[in-house]
Amino acid sequence: MLRGVDLDLSASAGELTARLVDIESVSGSEGPLADAIESALGECGHLSVVRDGNSIVARTDLGRARRVVLAGHIDTVPVADNLPSKVDQGNLFGCGTSDMKSGVAVQLKLAADVSAPVMDVTYVWYDCEEVETERNGLLRLSKNMPASLAGDFAILLEPTGGVVEGGCQGTLRAEIQAEGERAHSARAWMGNNAIHEAAEILYRLRNYEPRQPQVDGLSFREGLNAVGIRGGVAGNVIPDVCVVTVNYRFAPDRSADEAADHIRALFDGWQVRITDAAGGARPGLHSAAAASFVAAIGGTPRAKLGWTDVARFDALGIPAVNYGPGDPSVAHSRGEHVSLDAITECESRMRSWLAAS
Amino acid sequence: MLRGVDLDLSASAGELTARLVDIESVSGSEGPLADAIESALGECGHLSVVRDGNSIVARTDLGRARRVVLAGHIDTVPVADNLPSKVDQGNLFGCGTSDMKSGVAVQLKLAADVSAPVMDVTYVWYDCEEVETERNGLLRLSKNMPASLAGDFAILLEPTGGVVEGGCQGTLRAEIQAEGERAHSARAWMGNNAIHEAAEILYRLRNYEPRQPQVDGLSFREGLNAVGIRGGVAGNVIPDVCVVTVNYRFAPDRSADEAADHIRALFDGWQVRITDAAGGARPGLHSAAAASFVAAIGGTPRAKLGWTDVARFDALGIPAVNYGPGDPSVAHSRGEHVSLDAITECESRMRSWLAAS
C-alpha cells in the first residue's frame, strides 16, 4: 500500500503512472514529487543518485562500453480540473498522464528493475520543462553538472504515440520591418505607407517553398510563417512602420546561425531582427546504440518536427530521439489521457532492449 | 481696458485674438469664454443672441433676400505650455491662435461692427470641435435648434492660410478581414495562414489608383490607405485572422453609402466591416452668395481635402466653404501662431463683402 508520498516501484507501470499523476507537480511545484522519486530510488543499491534542485540523476556504473541516457520531465502544465486521475476503458485520464508521467513511470520501472543492463544507463528526471527556457531543469543540469548527462545516445520519453521520432527541427523567430513616412491620411501622397510596403514581405512568405530534406535517413519538413503582424499609428495617419514576426522551423541539417542567414537573405532590403533561435537535433540513428534501440522498438522511425529538449542533448554532442507511450495530440488538454496498454508496451520494449545484447 | 473676462470688441482683431487666446478654453472647459462672448454680444442691439450649452448663435434679422452663416469653434486642443499668448515679429503665438481664435475674433469684429450687412448674417460659435463627434457643439445645435443654422451659404473660419477652400472630402474607415485556420507552427501545413492571405489585400491597396475628380470646378484628390493591421495568436501558432483597417478619403461627388459600396466591391471575397463613415461636402461655389464671396476674397479657391465641419452644413443642405486667417500646418503644435497681418486681411475682406452689394 502507498502511504504519504511514497512510491511503490513494484507496482505496474500503469499503477505507478496514476500515482505520479496524483502527486500534483505543476512547473515550479515539483518538490514533493522529486522528494518521492529520490526517496524511492534510494532503495536501489545498483544506482548512484544525485539531486540538483528538483532534478534527479541516477546512474548505473557497470563499466559497460556504452552509456545511454533516458530523460523525462516531471512537471506538468496547470491542472485543468482533471485530477485525481481515473481509469476509463483502458485509458488513464488526468493532468500529465500523456505528457509525460507515463514516460516517467517507465523510467522508474526500468531504473528499479534492470539492475544489470547491457549498456550503462543514466536516468534523468528534470523540472520546469513546460515553462520558459531559462527555468528548464535539463538546461540547468547541462550547466551545473554537464558530466552527469554524458552518454552515447539519449532517449527523451516525451509522448510520441509509441513511435521513435528522431531528432527535432530548430525554431527561429525574426521581426521583418517595413518602413515608410508618416502623413495625415487626408494627404496620403505626402507620406509613404509602411503597411502597403509590407505586401511584398507577405508575398514572399506566401510563395516560399519550404525544404523537405532527408537528414540521417529521416524526412524533415520545414516551414516559414508569419505568426504576427502589427502596424498603425491612428485612424487618420499613414503609418511609418509595419512589423511582420516570422517563425522559421528548420531541419537539423542547418544550424541556428545558418537559419538566421537564410532569413536575412530572403528579406534582404528590410530590417531583420532575430528575436530568438534554437537549433534542432540530428536524429543520429546511424549510431550503434540508436540502431539497436530502433530494432528493439520496431516500427519505422520518423522525424520529430516540433522542437523538444532532444536539442539540448544534440548541443552536448549526444544523438537523441523521442520515444514515449503518450499521445502528443491530447497533451495539455483537459481530456489528457494515456492508454494503459501503450505504457506496458513501451516498458516491455525498452526493458528487452536494455536487458538483451 | 479689459477687466475680468470682459471682451472689448472695439479692440483690433489681432488684439481681440490675443484676449481670446488668453481665456483658456480646452474642449469641455469653454464656459468662461462662452460667457465672455455672450456678454459682449449683449451690447450689440442689432443682434438677437441665443445660447445652447457653451454654443452661441447671434443673428441679424433685416429681412434680406439671402442669409449667410459664419461659424467657428471656440475650443482648443490641450495647452502645450504655450499660454499666455505673446507677439513676436508680427506673429501672435499661443494655443488656439491659428486654430481658430483668430477666426473667432474676425467673427466677433464683424458681428459687432457690421450692423447693416447686405445679406442677413448668422454667427455661430460652438464648443467641442477638437474632440469626439458626439460632443461636437455644431452637431448638437443641428439637432436642438436646426432652424438657427439655416442659410443660403456658410463659411467656416477654420485655418486655411487665407485661401477659400471649398467643401471637404468624406472619410470612411473599414476593417477588411482575411481568415485562415489555426495550427501549430511546427506543422504549418495543417492550417492556413491568415496573415499570408492578407498579402492580396495589401497589394490591392498598394496598386489602387485614387480618383482625382472635379467637383463644382474644384479638383479633389482621393486616397485609400491601410492605417492599421493586426494578426497573430502566439509565436508558435499559425494565425486564423488578420485584420487590415483602411481609411478611404473620398471626394464629395460620392456619398458615404456609395463610398462604402466601393470599398465592399474592391474587397469582394473578404469580410468588410464599415466602422465609421462621414460624407464630405460639395463646394457649392456656383451659388450666388458663394460667387460673391469668392470674388470679394480673391485668389483661386481650392478643394478642402481633410474632413471638416462644413460637412455638417452640407448635411443640412447648405453649401459651405472654409476660409480663415490661420495656417493649418501649425495647428495643434506647441509653436502654434498666426500672422497679425493675415487676421487684418481676413477681417478686411469679409467686411467689404458683407458691406458691399
- Best probe of the B interface among A185, A246, A276, A308, by most B CBs < 10 A, is A185
A241 within 8 A of A193, measured Cβ to Cβ: no
- State the nearest Cα–Cα gap between B239 and chain A, in angstroms: 6
| B207: nearest CA partner in chain A | A196
Model confidence at B107, in pLDDT bands (50, 70, 90)? Answer: very high
Query: Any CB–CB contact under 8 A between A237 and chain B?
Result: yes
pLDDT value for A156: 97
Query: Any CB–CB contact under 8 A between A189 and chain B?
Result: yes
For range B337-357, the mean pLDDT? 93
DSSP element (H, E) containing A144: helix A137-144
- State the nearest Cα–Cα gap between B13 and chain A, in angstroms: 31
A246 within 8 A of A264, measured Cβ to Cβ: no
Query: Any CB–CB contact under 8 A between A26 and chain B?
Result: no
A173 within 8 A of A276, measured Cβ to Cβ: yes
Instruction: Kindly state the DSSP code that residue B281 receives in the 8-state scheme.
Output: B
Q: Name the one residue in this structure whose C-alpha cell is 537559419.
A: A259
Is the four-CA dihedral A60, A61, A66, A68 of positive or negative sign?
positive
Model confidence over B70-103: pLDDT tens digits? Answer: 999 999 999 989 999 999 999 999 999 999 999 9
Distance CA A19, CA A149 (A): 27
Q: Please tell me which of the candidates A226, A232, A239 has its beta carbon nearest to residue B196.
A: A226
CA angle A258, A71, A60 (to 5 degrees): 125
The active-site residue, picked from A99, A120, A127, A129, is A129
B107: left (phi over 0), alpha (psi -120 to 50) or beta: alpha
* Number of separate helices (H) and strands (E) present in chain B: 10, 19
Strand order of the β-sheet with A120-126 is A48-52, A55-59, A120-126, A67-73, A153-156, A320-322, A165-166, A302-303
- State the nearest Cα–Cα gap between A218 and chain B, in angstroms: 16
The set of catalytic residues of B is 75, 129
Strand partners, B172: B248, B277
Q: Do A195 and B184 touch (CB under 8 A)?
A: no
Cell of A307: 522542437
Taking CB atoms and an 8 Å cutoff, what residues of chain B touch A184? Answer: 306
Taking CB atoms and an 8 Å cutoff, what residues of chain B touch A225? Answer: 185, 188, 193, 195-196, 238
Please report the residues numbered 294 through 333 in chain B whose beta carbons come closer than 8 angstroms to any beta carbon of chain A: 305-307
| A276: nearest CA partner in chain B | B235
- Best probe of the B interface among A227, A249, A304, by most B CBs < 10 A, is A227
Strand partners, B221: none
Distance CA A58, CA A49 (A): 4
Q: Please tell me which of the candidates A195, A242, A306 has its beta carbon nearest to residue B184.
A: A306
Distance CA B178, CA B241 (A): 6
Query: Any CB–CB contact under 8 A between A209 and chain B?
Result: no
Query: Any CB–CB contact under 8 A between B242 and chain A?
Result: yes
Q: Do B225 and A196 touch (CB under 8 A)?
A: yes
The average confidence (pLDDT) of chain B is: 94
Q: Please tell me which of the candidates A230, A237, A305 has its beta carbon nearest to residue B187.
A: A305
Nearest to B213 by CA among B165, B272, B282, B156: B282
| B182: nearest CA partner in chain A | A227
The active-site residue, picked from A30, A75, A222, A327, is A75
- Best probe of the A interface among B160, B176, B185, by most A CBs < 10 A, is B185
Q: Name the one residue in this structure whose C-alpha cell is 501503450.
A: A342
A233: left (phi over 0), alpha (psi -120 to 50) or beta: alpha
Would you call A341 helix, strand, or coil by DSSP? helix
Model confidence over B231-290: pLDDT tens digits? Answer: 998 888 899 999 999 999 999 999 999 999 999 999 999 999 999 999 999 888 888 888
Phi, psi of B323 (to 5 degrees): -160, 120
Q: Please tell me which of the candidates B187, B203, B225 has its beta carbon nearest to residue A188.
A: B225
pLDDT higher than 90, residue B118: yes
Residues of chain A with confidence (pLDDT) below 70: 1-5, 357
Cell of B161: 492660410
Taking CB atoms and an 8 Å cutoff, what residues of chain B touch A280? Answer: none
pLDDT value for B4: 47
Query: Any CB–CB contact under 8 A between B4 and chain A?
Result: no
Distance CA A20, CA A5 (A): 9
Q: What number of other Cβ atoms are within 10 A of residue A42's Cβ? A: 11
A210: left (phi over 0), alpha (psi -120 to 50) or beta: beta
Cell of B345: 486681411
- State the nearest Cα–Cα gap between B206 and chain A, in angstroms: 5
- pTM to 2 decimals? 0.82
First to last CA, chain A: 35
Query: Any CB–CB contact under 8 A between B150 and chain A?
Result: no
Model confidence over B279-324: pLDDT tens digits? Answer: 999 888 888 888 889 999 999 999 998 899 999 998 899 988 999 9
Taking CB atoms and an 8 Å cutoff, what residues of chain B touch A202? Answer: 195-196, 198-199, 202
Nearest to A55 by CA among A146, A136, A147: A136
B278 within 8 A of B249, measured Cβ to Cβ: no
- Could you tell me where the DSSP H helices lie in chain B? 13-22, 31-41, 102-113, 137-144, 194-197, 199-207, 256-266, 288-297, 310-315, 340-355
Taking CB atoms and an 8 Å cutoff, what residues of chain A touch B188? Answer: 223, 225, 249
Cis bond upstream, residue B84 (ω within 30):
yes
Characterize the bridge pairing of strands B153-156 and B67-73: parallel
Q: What DSSP string runs through A261-309?
A: HHHHHHTTTSEEEEEEEE--B---TTSHHHHHHHHHH-S--EE--S--T
Q: Do A186 and B249 touch (CB under 8 A)?
A: yes
Distance CA B135, CA B133 (A): 5
Cell of B94: 499661443
Taking CB atoms and an 8 Å cutoff, what residues of chain A touch B196? Answer: 202, 205-206, 225-226
Q: Do A247 and B187 touch (CB under 8 A)?
A: no
pLDDT value for A73: 98
